[in-house]
Chains A and B, each alone.
Chain A
Amino acid sequence: MKAKTSLSEFPILTLQEVTKRFGGVGALEQVSFTVDHGKIVGLIGPNGAGKTTLFNCITGLSAPDSGFIYFGDSQASLAHLYPYQVTVNGIARTFQTIRLFKNMTALENIMVGAHSKARAGLWGALFRPEWVKLEQKKLRDHAHQLLAFFGLSSRANELAGNLSYGHQRKLEIARALASDPKLLLLDEPAAGMNPKEKEELLDLIRAIRERGVTILLIEHDMKVVMLVSEHVIVLDYGKKIAEGSPKKIQNDPRVIEAYLGKDFKK
């Protein structure tokens, strides 16, 4: 019997029977799983399996029809919070298609990402007391550190829209990290990258985990998922059909069926 449960013994994310329907189509059907602290967890499934919908439900972009989403040891479900409240709680995300603020510089993008860490409002901006100046400086320094971590220092004052594709992908992850999340959701971070960039990305993801951030990632590239994840969850037609270690998943008949069809013989 355990005498005491420390914070890290709670799963960082718990989904309980999350269901989301669009009209008659069930995008998510009673999906339940947990994500453990400090892990890199892969979320895979064929197109239209409901992976992005699941991300949207976690981050508050769409509310699940039923079910609960718990973050850490909190007793309150995230399911009906606004997106910004979810971010304040400590969950950050990137998007499948890049959604940077194109006409703002790389540095500004990251400073916006750190929005929830500061508190200067209208009055702070107007009267600019000492603490606001300090806060602004801190945000700026923090943003520069993040740019350096992602190797984007030389691009700090370039407009995000003018960066190369690979850099934009990186900047998006940097922007999400700026809010100091405990859990980072990456939606197909390797999409459109060449093998070398993918390798860099894997190193980055591992380095982010070293900073104490738990990562849940959607990825289509099986190689990437199997290489980097310690735990894999498989969705198909909105249902969780399998989960386990990458090795176990690769040999799971249901997963093979979902990807390759029933008649596929090994």
Chain B
Amino acid sequence: MKFKQAVLNKLVPFLFTVVIFIFPLVDRNPYHIDVMVSAGIFVLLALGLNVIVGNAGILNLGYAAFFAVGAYTYALVNLHWHIPFWIGLWISALTGTIFGMLLAFPALRLGGDYLAIVTLGAGEIVRIALNNLDTITGGPNGLLGIDHPSLLIPKYQFGVKSEPYYFLVLFLILGFIFVLRRLESSRLGLAWNALREDELAASCMGINTAWAKLSAFAVGGFIAGVAGCVFAGKQGTISPDSFDFVVSVMVLAMVVLGGLGSIRGVILGALILSLLPEFLRRFEIYRMFLFGLAMILMMLFRPQGILGEVHHREEFKKRNKSR
């Protein structure tokens, strides 16, 4: 039993990582790799949103705005001042963090559904602003001619190939997994969980709930900023369409599907939801139907998510019974 547990906990993720590493060396189809890169960007987003929704328990329906801030930041600093990608990455992370913290201010006073509406509104405001600030953001046409990343030593242009982005995203994901695991097991991580479970009790335990919320939004904003920068650097062109409300909902669905608060679960959820449409392409017209059906069945039979802890389910059951 213990052995089995150890295998599940260590070996499976390790093998999975190895497979992911050699995937582009085996599968030479550039389209497949390209799909994997966008899936990877969604994994980054899901990891970031998981900090806010899964760990701190704050429903955020406007996460695409965080992503947009990161992407437009790199696009603008690159187009105006020719700032290279690697520095842009940090600037995007910074603006993402600041945007996250700004949006956290309403979160200090509101909770639950009300906050969800505020975040939804903020997400829409950002998208509409991007659409209409023609002189800065290029309006609906977006921004063109953003520099792709390149390496100085050895001299290498990322260009429009897919493989370099694949490894860039992969390393970013591994880095964030490392960081997030540290955060989860820390004093701050415990404070986030306490906030999710019972905000009032948490505040009576000596937790500065305002700071806890602010830091969760900051970490979530940082990761979305990085993801946005990578997205802009890879595409070379961005427009408000890519930061639609649907993106927020998709990322949230990934987090919920995989399992709130579980890093592995969230990664799995993001991979499934971004790759599934590709596999369902054959059933083109039924695609959204099957997708919706899968989500409904999921909520009925495994509401805690694929890899979510079982206790969420127990909780859910108890609540249903008491009604």
Contacts and interface: CB of A to CB of B under 8 A. Distances in A.
Interface of A: 59, 61, 82-84, 87-88, 92-93, 95, 99-104, 108, 111-113, 115-116, 118, 120-122, 124-126, 128, 132, 135-136, 139, 159, 161-162, 175, 179
Contact of A84 (B186, B209, B314): B209
Interface string B62-78: 00000000000000000
14 contacts: A83-B203, A83-B204, A84-B207, A99-B201, A103-B197, A103-B311, A103-B315, A113-B206, A124-B186, A125-B187, A126-B179, A126-B182, A126-B183, A161-B314
Contact of A108 (B190, B203, B208, B309): B190
B194 A112 contact: yes
A112 B182 contact: no
B186 A120 contact: yes
Interface residues of B, number: 30
A112 B315 contact: no
B203 A93 contact: no
B191 interface: yes
**Which of B187, B202, B312, B315 lies at the interface centre, i.e. has the most chain A CB atoms within 10 A of its CB?**
B187
A112 B198 contact: no
Contacts of A116: 205-206
B55 to A, nearest CB: 12
B124 to A, nearest CB: 30
Chain B contact surface mostly? helix
Nearest to B187: A120
B312 A104 contact: no
Nearest to A113: B205
A82 B208 contact: yes
B142 to A, nearest CB: 34
B56 to A, nearest CB: 13
A252 to B, nearest CB: 33
Interface of B: 179, 182-183, 186-191, 193-194, 197-198, 200-209, 215, 219, 309, 311-312, 314-315
A247 B323 CA distance: 45
A128 B189 CA distance: 13
A113 to B, nearest CB: 5
Given A103-B315, A104-B197, A179 B206 contact: yes
Contacts of A113: 205-206
B198 A99 contact: yes
A99 B194 CA distance: 11
B204 A59 contact: yes
Given A95-B201, A101-B201, A125 B182 contact: yes
B312 A61 contact: no
B187 to A, nearest CB: 5
